[in-house]
Each structure stands twice: as structure tokens, then as C-alpha cells.
Chains A and B, each alone.
Chain A
Amino acid sequence: MTEVSQISEFGKILIFLITGIIMVCVIFFFNRLLAPDNPNYEKLTSYECGEEPTGNAWLPFNSRFYVIALIFLLFDVEMVFVFPWATVFGNHELIAKDARWGWFSLAEMFIFLGILILGLVYAWVKGDLEWIKAKPTVPTTDVNIPASFYEKLNLEQSKFTVKAFSMGNEPVAEPVAAQTPTELPPVRKPMFKPTFKKPANE
């Protein structure tokens, strides 16, 4: 293999891209060919977890979520560094070679975390984590009933008398004999009587 390759490194990437595009097109073509196509109104509506979609999907979003997302990203990236560090930190061979290795790597990670926490403290002190809190005002009305009146009422209402339990037969309330209703004039129910016209009469 002494002759120089006709394809440059960029050419290989070009072939890779072309193959990728063709593969995607072929797969979509077969999907089109094989997949059943039964669209209906429900299928074409937007998916809202089974609910009827209402309103516009374009909503104004509070821009302060951006700051929270940015700070989250900081600690998300931190985890990316901590996981590979943890595997090296627990390496028995390295610890066996030099006992100071464990302390060194532990201190190093704490310095790294400390820098990141410093960033969080900075954001905190600057007030970026402050959220506008609702200030609820208790509605007051101008009435003449004093608060002690309600206390007195509640005290009176809270007194209960408990009936003593007994196994004996309780006197059953006599069934009230159905009174024979005094003769009332029969109420005429409103009713609708349809009248039909026979076509023969016309």
C-alpha cells in the first residue's frame, strides 16, 4: 500500500454524510411503504395527555427560570467530573503505591467543589435566587360584631352530651300510622294532549 489514497480525510467524512442521508431516506421510504396510514381527526390533533387541547402553545415563560437552569447546569457538569474521579479515587493499585494518593485526590475534589460552591454563594449573595414572593393581605371588613362573640359561640357549640351505651332493648319508636289523607280536591296535573288532524277531514 505505497500509493497515496485518492480520498482525503474530508472525503471520508463526505462519504459518511452521504451514506447517512441515504440510509435515513431508505428507512423513511420503507416506513412509508409498510406503515398503515389511517389518519382521523383525533389522531391528527395535538397530544395533550388525552385532554382536549385548548389555547395557544406559545406561552410567555418567566425569564428568571433561565438563571435557575444556568445554576443547575453548573452542578450538573460537576457530576460529570465527580463520577470519573470516584472511580480513580477508589483505585487500590494507586493507593497501594503511595498512601498519600487518597488524601491528595480527596483534597483536590474538595477544592474543586469549593470553587463551584463559591459560585453558588456569589449568585445567592447577588440575589439571583430571590423569588418574588406573594404578599397576601388579609381582607378586613368593618363590622360591629366583636371577636369575643365568636369565641363564646364556639364554646357553646363545643359542649356535647354523650348518651350512655346500653345493651337493653331500646324502646322502638312507634310507627306512625299513616294518616288517611283528608279528602283533597284532585289536583289536575298539567298535561299535554296532542291533537291530530286527520288528513281526511281537510
Chain B
Amino acid sequence: MSSDITSEDGGVVITKMNDLLNWARLSSLWPLSFGIACCAIEMMGSMASTYDLDRFGVFPRPSARQADVIIIAGTVTFKMAERIKRLYEQMPEPKYVISMGSCSNCGGPYWQHGYHVVKGVDRVIPVDVYVQGCPPRPEALIGAILELQKKIEGEHLIKA
């Protein structure tokens, strides 16, 4: 469903139920207010006025119950992995995960000698979009949101 179907002199918009649901979901991707390390600073930056993630409907929520997407922004230690797992489980479905930065992608600088770092958050929870960078620029996170929106667009929530 594209946005350029608005008729100038009124009219009727016909769409499929699936497309409508997907459009509604991808236009209001609410992430959990959850940052672990320095990538979280970039995440905050991209939510602030300069990059304004709010224009994509991305609006951080304080509770996992209201969140659609969890942005793993930072180094995932083994201690934190337990919490991340619980937070992910507490999110209502459908839920998505954006792995932001090298640390959460693969362990980053700690991939060899970091005794305390999980080598990739995808070993704990399923990841939908990976963002490369250390830390990634806000543009990269916006790109990840757009990629996730593309992914949601092709989903089928209602089983035929």
C-alpha cells in the first residue's frame, strides 16, 4: 500500500486487510526505551530533533508491553543477556529486533578477548536487522528502521 493513492476530490480507497494491517504496524514502530552502551547515545541522537525518528512513527515506549521493536544498542554482556532475553519475551507479538553496532552484531572489539561479552545478540534472541558500525551513525539506524518497514510490508499476519 503506497501513500500516493490519496485522491484530491475525495473518493474511496480500497486495500487488502493484510496490507492495511501491515501499513498500520510499519507506520508506528514503537521501540523499547532500552540502551546498553555507547550505541545508545547514537540511538538517542537519532530520536532527538536533528534526525527526528518520530517522523517514521518511531516513538520510544517505557514498557516492554507496549513495544514492537527492541533496539539492542550496545555491548551485550552475559549478565545483560539474561535481561534482554526476559525483556524480549515480555514484548507482545509481533515483535522485532534491531541489532545496532558491532558489539551486538558479533561481539565487536570484544570478539576475541572479551570474557564477559556475548558474541552476537543473535545467540540469545532472533535478530531481524543488523546495523554495522562502531557506533553506527543515526542515518544507519534510520536505514535499519526503513529496512524493517520493508520487511513488515511483506509479512502476512492473517494466515490464509
The interface of chain A, by Cβ under 8 A from chain B, is 34-36, 38, 40, 42-43, 45, 47, 49-52
Contacts and interface: CB of A to CB of B under 8 A. Distances in A.
Nearest to A40: B89
B114 interface: no
Contacts of B157: 34, 36
B65 interface: yes
Given A34-B157, A36-B94, A47 B63 contact: yes
B84 to A, nearest CB: 7
Given A34-B157, A35-B92, A42 B86 contact: yes
B116 interface: no
Nearest to A35: B92
A50 B94 contact: no
7 contacts: A34-B21, A35-B92, A36-B157, A43-B92, A47-B64, A50-B83, A50-B87
- Interface SS of chain A: loop
B88 to A, nearest CB: 9
Contacts of A49: 83
B65 A47 contact: yes
A50 B84 contact: yes
Given A34-B157, A50-B83, A42 B90 contact: yes
B93 interface: yes
Given A35-B92, A38-B93, A45-B90, 18 more contacts: A34-B21, A34-B158, A36-B93, A40-B89, A42-B85, A42-B90, A43-B90, A43-B92, A47-B63, A47-B65, A47-B90, A49-B83, A50-B64, A50-B84, A50-B86, A50-B87, A50-B90, A51-B83
A31 to B, nearest CB: 11
Contacts of B92: 35, 43
Nearest to A38: B93
A63 B68 CA distance: 38
Nearest to B82: A50
